[in-house]
Every structure is written in C-alpha cells, then in structure tokens.
Amino acid sequence: ATRKLFFLPGDGIGPEAMAEVRKLVDVMNADHAAGFEIEEGLVGGIAYDTHGQSISETDMERAQAADAVLFGAVGGPKWDGVGYDVRPEAGLLRLRKDLELFANLRPAICYPALAGSSSLKRELVEGLDILIVRELTGGTYFGEPKEIRDLGNGQKRGIDTQVYDTYEIERISGVAFELARTRQNRVCSMEKRNVMKSGVLWNEVVTANHAAHYADVELSHMLADAGGMQLVRRPKQFDVIVTDNLFGDLLSDVAAMLTGSLGMLPSASLGAPDEKTGTRKALYEPVHGSAPDIAGKGIANPLAMIASFAMCLRYSFGMVAEAERLEAAIAATLDDGVMTADIVGEGGTAVGTGEMGDAVIAR
C-alpha cells in the first residue's frame, strides 16, 4: 500500500527537525517496505518569501489529498511586520480550518530519563502518561460576536463568545472515549458548568454520549480550575482529559511543563472519519515553534517532531506496533544519555540534531 505523507517543514528549526523524520521514513521504506510516499510543500515565512502567501492553493490541495500532513514550525522575527492575512501562522490556521481538524491531541509523557529534570518532584511525574484531547475549531476562539465595540462614551467593549453545539461536543468526546479504550480506559471531562451555560451543555452531552455508546469507559467530571490544580498536584490520576478549546489551550500547556522540555512534545490534530473510507484528515506537529534563537546551528531537539511522526503512525496508519517501537527507541536513546542541549543535565555532553535522529533510528 502507498501511504501519502505531505511534509510542510516551514521555518527556523522546522526543516532541521523534519530532516530527521525524513531519514526515518527512508529507513522504514528501504528496510521494511513501508510504502511511504513523501511530497513536500511550503508554509509560513518561507512560503511568503517564495510566492507572497503563507500557504499556496496548490499546497492546500496537496494537504487535502495526503493521508497525513507533517508540519514543522512557522514564524520568526523576519516576518513580524508582514500583513495579518499573510503572516506565517495564517498558513497553519488555514490548514486546521480547511481540513476541519477539530480534535487536538496533546500527550504529556514523562520519560524516565527526564523525570529528574521536570519542575516537579520525580515521584509525581515519573511514568506520567496523560493525553489531553482539546476541541480545536469551536468555543471562545471562534464564537460570534467577536469584536471590540465602541460604546461611544469613551469606553470600549471587548467581546468573545463561547459557543458549543451538541454535535461538536459529541464528536470531541467520542474521540476521547475511543482513545481511552486504547489506553487505561478512563476519561475526565473538564468544564465550568457552575458558571457557564456552554459548560452545562458540555457536561450533559458528554454524559449522554457516554451512556449511549461508551459505558465501558470510566468517566469522571471536574471543574476546569480544579482540574488545573489536580494536574500539578497529582498528575498521574489522569488518563485522557477532554475539554474545550480555551481550557484545553491552558491545561495542555500546564501539562506540558510536567514533562521537561518543549523540544519533547508532539501533537496531532484530527478531523472526522470519512463516512465511506473511514480515513480521517490529520496534521501532526511539534508543540514548539521555530526557535529562531537556535535555528541554523544544528542543535535543535528533533524528538518532538519524531514523536509527532509516531502519533502519525498510530492514528493515520494504524501502525500501532511501529509507533510503540519508535516511542520505545526515543526512551532508550534518552536512557543511554544521548541528549540535545535543551535537555542535557549539568555536566553532560550534548549531541546535535542529526546525531539525535541517528541515535533513535539505530535503536
């Protein structure tokens, strides 16, 4: 079978990290006949420099046609002054919107070798494996009205509106329940039903969806502020957390800091399964940005990008054993003390981006 990958390396360290995934894909094709086909396009600042848009129509079509999109990072000081519609992030937002990527998966995994470098106590984070499922295309970031209104008396009013419809809550909670079945079978839903109507509806729909289709999964509910506290206090109590766009943004960043470095964190954004084929649109990207401060030096940590590819194997191609093997290789690399500058401890020797990629492939 052919498996069509569309690479959008982007700016800064994006292409440096993506090069390590390309090496890995080449090895999987050569040694294991994995049948990956890679196309590559432009996104972000480099796309703007080349043709004046943050992503071209042609590349949008190629993204639509691919089985999975791998995205590096976009942006940098060079493009800080460009117009709003052509700014680097616009390309990423367009991809999320046009591919209808409503489910954002942010794992927070603490590798044993890094448990000591977390900002928290080792016993709190060692063995941590949380998956935050964040709704990505609705809620406060998109609801109407959204404006700054001039009240005419020297006052202005900034307005954002949280809107959620039943179907949006059903489909995101469905993703969370299904993923839970492949893990520890537990979902914690977070909202603020005590002060928000959309929170009341969220709670009702998640509960009803659970009773109707996922009663085998253990479901709990938590107010999102208490959830934030629990994430820091006793993070290992969670398996899958499902929450809205705004709370998910905050909670996933909190969870990220339980694990060590930004250079370690992958993410996946998934669309709805196609009714005929069962396949879904998907984009995989590291959580970090283009890191202009270290770009071009060959020292960026490629593990977030490589771990994003592991998610791609699991969620787009059902290659669960291969994904687990790749994740185990990442853990083994770290166990052997092979680390880039961002994660190496005091007195340790850092390797470069290419050596890190090679070390994972070797294992």
Quick check: 253 binds ligand NAI (CB under 6 A)? Answer: no
Closer Cβ to Mg ion, 141 or 230, answer by number: 141
Amino acid, res. 167: Y
Element (H, E) at 133: strand 129-135
Q: What sign does the CA torsion over 14, 19, 22, 24 have? A: negative
Closer Cβ to Mg ion, 80 or 253, answer by number: 253
Residue span binding Mg ion (CB under 5 A) among the ranges 24-32, 227-235, 246-254, 347-355:
246-254
Partner touching 73 among ligand NAI, Mg ion, none, CB below 5 to 8 Å by kind: ligand NAI
Residue span binding ligand NAI (CB under 6 A) among the ranges 29-37, 58-66, 165-173, 296-304:
296-304
9 is in an annotated binding site: no
Catalytic residues: 141, 192, 225, 249, 253
Quick check: 73 binds ligand NAI (CB under 6 A)? Answer: yes
244 is in an annotated binding site: no
State the nearest-atom distance from the C-beta of 287 to Mg ion, in Å.
8
79 is in an annotated binding site: yes
Quick check: 291 binds ligand NAI (CB under 6 A)? Answer: yes
- Helix axis angle, 88-98 relative to 57-65, nearest 10°? 40
Partner touching 249 among Mg ion, ligand NAI, none, CB below 5 to 8 Å by kind: Mg ion
Exposed, middle or buried, 15 (CB in 10 Å: 0-12/13-18/19+)? buried
Torsion of CA 322, 328, 329, 330, to 10 degrees: 120
Quick check: 86 binds ligand NAI (CB under 6 A)? Answer: no
Torsion of CA 178, 180, 186, 192, to 10 degrees: -70
Quick check: 289 binds ligand NAI (CB under 6 A)? Answer: yes
CA distance 49 to 27: 32
Q: Is 127 helix (H, G, I), strand (E, B) or coil?
A: coil
| Exposure of 19 in the CB half-sphere (CA atoms within 13 A) | 17
Q: Which of 16, 67, 191, 249 binds Mg ion (CB under 5 A)?
A: 249
CA distance 187 to 311: 19
CA distance 130 to 286: 16
Closer Cβ to Mg ion, 41 or 266, answer by number: 266
Where does this chain bind ligand NAI (CB under 6 A)? Answer: 13, 73-76, 92, 262-263, 285, 288-294, 300-301, 304, 342
Q: Which residues line the annotated binding site for substrate? A: 96, 106, 134, 225
Where does this chain bind Mg ion (CB under 5 A)? Answer: 249, 253
